[in-house]
Each structure stands twice: as structure tokens, then as C-alpha cells.
Chains A and B, each alone.
Chain A
Amino acid sequence: MNGVLVVDDDADIRETLSVVLERQGFRVVTAVDGADALQYLQGGELPSLILLDLMMPRMTGEEFRVAQIANNQLKAIPVVALSGASRLDETAVRLGVEVLPKPIELSQLLKTVSRFCQKES
């Protein structure tokens, strides 16, 4: 798939991101935490972009990113972190990923996603 993998423990965020991105023609799959995301990646097609929440139970965004980089097949997938820290998120800087500050601006979200993914329709 060429879509977006949304990894967030908040169901409403997952649904919202799915709705707004799908409305723009992107394919979206979701995972509830890092472990869930890894499981999905090991089984299915690889997405063009992962939108990753950093604060999640079970497996945090940071742990997921570490596991992802350690995996040769997965490490090339670009990751954009969704961060509650309004500016520089220390974790995101450490992980070397781009940041979309929460609350996310729709225009910014679409601009970012468009850089990595192609619309299906």
C-alpha cells in the first residue's frame, strides 16, 4: 500500500485522522500502539508514511521507532511524530523525525502527508 499508518492510542484521533485523510484521498490504516503497529508492519504491506504518537501505553512511540530502525525492511519508512510539546519535542529531536505539533493544523497535516504519499484517487 502507499497509504498512511496512523499509530495513536486515542481512538478519536485515529478516527479523525482517518476521516480527514481519506476525504482527501489518502489510504489510511491505524494501530493502537507501537506493538500493534509493528505487528501490522510485519504482516502486511508497507505504508509510505507513519504518523506516530509518542506517548502511548504498552509500547511508546520512541520504543517503536527504535524497533523500526533496527529492522532492515522497515527502517526506510518515513516517520512523522505527533507531539503535544508545542515546539521542539526533545524525543522527536533525539529520534531524528519531523514533528507535527498537537493540536494539528489541517493544512499542515495535508502538506506533510502529501510530501510522502500519493492520493489514490
Chain B
Amino acid sequence: VIAEDQRPPEPLTPVGARTATPLPRRPRTSIRGKLVALTLAVILIPVFSVAAIVAVREIRDIRTQIVEANALMGEMVAEFGAAALAFQDRTAAEQTLRALGNHDEFVDAALYDSEGKLVASFARPGHSDAPPSPSLDPGARPRAQVEGDRITAVRPVEYRGVRYGTLVLHTSTAPLTSRVRAYLWGLLLLTIGVVAASLMLAWALERMVSKRLLRLAEVARHIAQKEDYTVRADAQGGDEIGLLGQAFNRMLAEIGRRQQQAQQAVRTRDEFLSVASHELKTPLTSLKLQVQGLLATPPAVVDKNEARRLASSMALTERQIRRLERLINNLLDVSRIAVGRFTMEVEDVDLSALVRDVASQFTAELERVGCRLTLDLPDDVMGRWDALRLEQVVVNLISNAIKYGDGKPIDLSLAVDDGHALIRVRDHGIGIAPDDQKRIFGRFERAVSVNYGGLGLGLYITRQIVMAHGGTIRVESTLGEGSTFVVEVPRRGPPWQKGGGS
């Protein structure tokens, strides 16, 4: 016998398996990133909008001012220049133009006579890029237009409706461009300032919020991984996060307390189980040995009827002792399953012989209820199983078939397919309703009323044993026509049992 303390995986391990994906260390989008984006949007969008509106209006105003100043000056020069042109007085004309020198924005000016010949010109030193052209179309139409960084104004010089010549005036738009440049610089500085401010804000908030939240998440992660409920989160600071930390710690304390309680409860139950099994089995031992001893060597009773009655009573007593033993063992099995202490001893087993052996134990009982059990067993169904546990399975299935079989015939067949052995137990009794079919494999469950007796543990234990072997159990049933239970177990033993063959 290879004694291996195996804990079959799925049903017998305590629940609470860690299926959740681990918490990531860092958030995908950080609060800091969001804050920076939000601050920038909130500050920059209105600032840019306002700046744009103000700039547009300002630029338009300045432009209007320049154009108006240009027009005014032109008018004045034309007024004064008219006389000079009328008398062909070049000196007076130049004096008139020189008066413009007082105004910074004027770059240059030129006066032409009625035939389009240059009479006088003025150029601000270092500003005018080209000398005035010596002649001009005498009939040039008045205009004012922006050309690059200057405004060119052409206007007739008239006096009392008589045109004496033409004035060409260039005004610089430098004040305009410098104002625009100033706006752009201002906006750039403002943007840099806002970005810097929002980064600082985010940094400050990160210290106040994100870092502490991340630490809290780190503690939670540690606990989830290590199941260590003794660690505590940083609950400093009277703000919301501090409060969160406090609540978190209180929850941890509570979880820790409950975990301890649960562990204590499991310990208590284990101890109770050990004591109870000893206490229940001790009286049963004496009882069983005494009765079996009497059955083995019956007391000599002369009267034949008396002897038969005694033998029958002894047999009944022994049967009831076995029943009591089964009940106690079932209870202990269930408790062991609950605490994950269900042991398996896998060895080479001939299932065919095992089933035949179990069936023979039922001969007397079958006779008593008047029920026929038909076996269909191939020779030598070898496999790696826990013989005693599989015996329990077959005992449970046959007992159920008898109990709920209504005295009608029972068929038990064994079949082999590649890799599996199939035990099929069919009765023709009361059957199981479809809803109940799912329920009956649960703990303390049964399809029928309590009047049928039993603790409702048989099929639960059966299923646990089958699953511990890596097998399956299913039921096919029609109410009133009977049930068929099919157990399928792999022949090579439980898949998680290492080693195996011998």
C-alpha cells in the first residue's frame, strides 16, 4: 500500500482560492497627469481666449489710430504744401515736410508738382530705405494702403478746388508690430508660468494625495499577497486620506480578528473531531466485538426456535451496529472533507472483485427486502484507486438503490473504456425530479422527505470520493421510473497523484 496524503484539488481545498488578478503597482493614468492636464485646460483656454480678443481689438485700434494720424498729417501737409507748390517755392515745401520730423512714425514724404515732378522730399535718417521716385503720375488717385511694415498714403494737394500737386507719405507700422510682438511674448511667458504653476500644484497634490493613496494601495497589495493582517496603513493627517487610512486599518483589525476566530474555530473543530471519534467509537468497539463474538460462537441453546430467534436478534444487532458505524464514519468523513483532511491511499485494485465483494455483503439485506441485484462485471478491471474509498462509493450506490428502489430489480454493471472505469447502478424505484438531481450531491441534501432516514451525506461523500479520484458522477432519472447513477473514474489514478504505476 502506498500511503500518500493527497489533497485532491478542486472540491476539497478550502474555498477562498486566490483567483483575482494582482493589483498593478502604478495607476494607468495618474492623478498627477490628470491634474496637470486639467489645470492647463482650465487656465490656458480662457487666458488664450481673452488674450486673443483683447489683442485683436487693440491691434485694430492701433491700426485705426495710425491710419487716422497719417490722414491728419497728410491733410495738414497738403494744406501747407499747397501754397508752396502754387508758388513753386521749394524751400517752403521742404520746411513743410521737415515739420513731419517731429512725429516718429513718419518715415518719409515727398511732394510732387502738378506735372508729377519731385519738388521736395524728407526722409528720416536710417529709416527710409529708398529715395523718393523723381516723378509721379500727376493724376495719381488718392489712396492709403499698407505695404509690408509701412503705410503708403498718396493724396492730392489742393487749394480751393485747384490741384497743385501730390503728396506721398510713408508711415511706419512699427508701433503696431511691436505691440503684437509684446502680446505674443506676454502670452508665451503666461503659458510658461501656468505650466510651471500647474506642475507645482500637481507635485504638491501628489505629495498630499497620490503618494499616500499609492502607499495605501501598496499595503492592500501586500495583504492580498501575504495574507498578513498585522500590517497597518499610514493613517496620519486629519484629511480625507487620513480618514481613509483609519477606516482601512479598522477593517484590517476586524479581518484579522475574524481570521483568528476562524482559525480558532477550525482548531476547536479538529480537536472535537478527534475526541468525538474516539468517544463514539470506544463503546461501539466493545459492542461490536461482543456481538461478533457471540455470532461466531453462539451460546448453546437447546430449544431450536429459541436458538433461531437468538440468532436472528444477534444478526439484527450486528447489522444495526454496522449502520451506526457507517453513520459515524460518514459524519467524520464530512468533517474531514470540510477541513481538507481527506486522505487517499492509492493502490492497484481489481474493481471487478471489489464490486462483487461489496455486492455479496448485501445478500442478506436484499433477501430481506425481496429485491434482486443483477451484476454485469467483466473480469479484471484493474486500476490505481483507493480500495476502501471506492468500496464506500459502491456501498452507497447499492444502499441508495435498495432504499429508493421500491423492491424492484437493481442492475449493477461495470464497463471499461480507454483510461476509465464506469460503474453504473440502475434501480426502478421512485426516481428523482429534475430539480432535485442537481441538489442531491450537496451536503445534508436529499431528494425525498426525511421519512426515508439517513443524514443525507451518502451522495455528498460519494461525489467527493469520486472527485478525489479525478472522476465524475452523474445521475439520469425519471420520476416514478427509477434512477441510474454513473460513476466514471480514471484507471491511472488521480491525475494529480505523482508517481502512480507500480
Question: In the complex, which residue of chain A has the Cβ closest to the Cβ of B386?
Answer: A87
* Stretch from B138-146, B220-228, B291-299, B481-489 forming part of the interface with A: B291-299
B274 — which chain A residues lie within 8 A by C-beta? 84-85
Which of B277, B282, B289, B325 is the one whose CB lies under 8 Å from A20?
A: B289
* Option from B5, B284, B297, B333 in Cβ contact (under 8 Å) with A103: B284
Total contacting residues, chain A, CB less than 8 A: 24
In the complex, whether A46 has a CB less than 8 A from a CB of chain B is: no
CB distance from B361 to the nearest CB of A (A): 13
Q: Which of B5, B286, B288, B345 contacts A105 (CB 8 A)?
A: B288
A87 touches B388 (CB 8 A): yes
The B interface is mostly helix, strand or loop, or mixed, namely helix
Question: Do A19 and B290 have beta carbons less than 8 Å apart?
Answer: yes
Indicate if B285 sits at the interface (CB-CB under 8 A).
Answer: yes
- Is there a chain B Cβ closer than 8 Å to A63's Cβ? no
In the bound assembly, the distance between CA atoms of A15 and B282 in angstroms comes to 13
Q: Determine the interface band of chain B, counting residues with CB < 8 A from chain A.
A: 20 to 34
B278 CB contacts on chain A under 8 angstroms: 55, 84, 102
Counting CB contacts under 8 A, is A109 at the interface? Answer: yes
CB-nearest residue of chain B to A12: B286
Evaluate contact between A104 and B288: CB separation under 8 angstroms.
yes
Contact, CB under 8 Å: B284 / A20? no
- Top 8 A-B residue pairs of the complex, sorted by shortest distance between their CB atoms: A106-B292, A84-B278, A102-B281, A103-B284, A20-B293, A12-B286, A103-B285, A16-B286
Can you report 23 A-B residue pairs in the complex whose CB atoms are below 8 A from each other?
A13-B282, A16-B290, A16-B293, A17-B289, A19-B290, A20-B289, A20-B293, A23-B297, A84-B274, A84-B277, A85-B277, A87-B343, A88-B343, A88-B345, A93-B3, A102-B278, A102-B285, A103-B284, A104-B289, A105-B288, A105-B292, A106-B288, A106-B289
Instruction: List chain B positions with a Cβ less than 8 A from chain A.
Output: 3, 5, 274, 277-278, 280-290, 292-293, 296-297, 321, 325, 329, 332-333, 343, 345, 388
Extra contacts, 8 of them, besides A16-B293, A86-B329, A106-B292 (Cβ < 8 A), are A16-B286, A17-B289, A20-B290, A86-B333, A87-B388, A93-B3, A102-B281, A104-B285
